[in-house]
Amino acid sequence: MKQYEIRADYDRDTIVVYQAYNKQIAEKAIKNKRFSEPFSFNRMTWIKPSFLWMMERCGYGQKSGQEYILAIRIKRISWEYVLSQAVLTHPHENVYNSGDTCKEMIQNATVNVQWDPERNLRGNKLDCRSIQVGISRHLIEAYNNEWIVDIQDYTPLVRKIYNLRKEGEYEKAKKHLPIEKIYPVSENIMKRLGVD
């Protein structure tokens, strides 16, 4: 794996991103295929295409307020629009001329991107990075009403994988992981994100 590359479950028209929520938010989203209150439309929401990174973040659904894991299928055209607007949250020498340029862009960004260490099934950090995309309040309505194609409850799947891990059955757990492959992006987006 390269240090910076997007890996995801995707098809011709859509890509899956993950979020974790409490029961009240998640059950409404699963039923309506859209978010509604008490989901906050007034702050940034973060979406992640890496299943294992999301599992590390939410503790396989064991963290308070993150018990439900949602697989949100959004339009690829929307995902690529988001990436084309993204600003890295940390200075990257191949992307920004100076730290001041980066700071100014972050302050005005409608989309933020962080690259965090990818994880394996055992929870160990890998040398490669996984993308995390923050959608600002200025775009959340569009995310919710226009980009989302489907919302699936992955909580039972996550619990199954979590229990297999606890039993040391990593090979069995691996068979239940979503299939992710490298997501192709344009040269402009690659440059914007500091992708290899």
Q: What percent of the chain clears pLDDT 90, i.e. is strictly above it? A: 82
pTM for the full predicted model:
0.92
Mean pLDDT, the chain, rounded, equals: 92
* Burial (Cβ within 10 Å: 0-12, 13-18, ≥19) of residue 80: middle
Decide if 29 contacts 129 (C-beta within 8 A): no
Separation of alpha carbons 183 and 6, rounded Å? 5
Separation of alpha carbons 84 and 14, rounded Å? 17
pLDDT at 109: 84
pLDDT at 195: 79
pLDDT at 104: 64
* Burial (Cβ within 10 Å: 0-12, 13-18, ≥19) of residue 72: buried
pLDDT at 196: 60
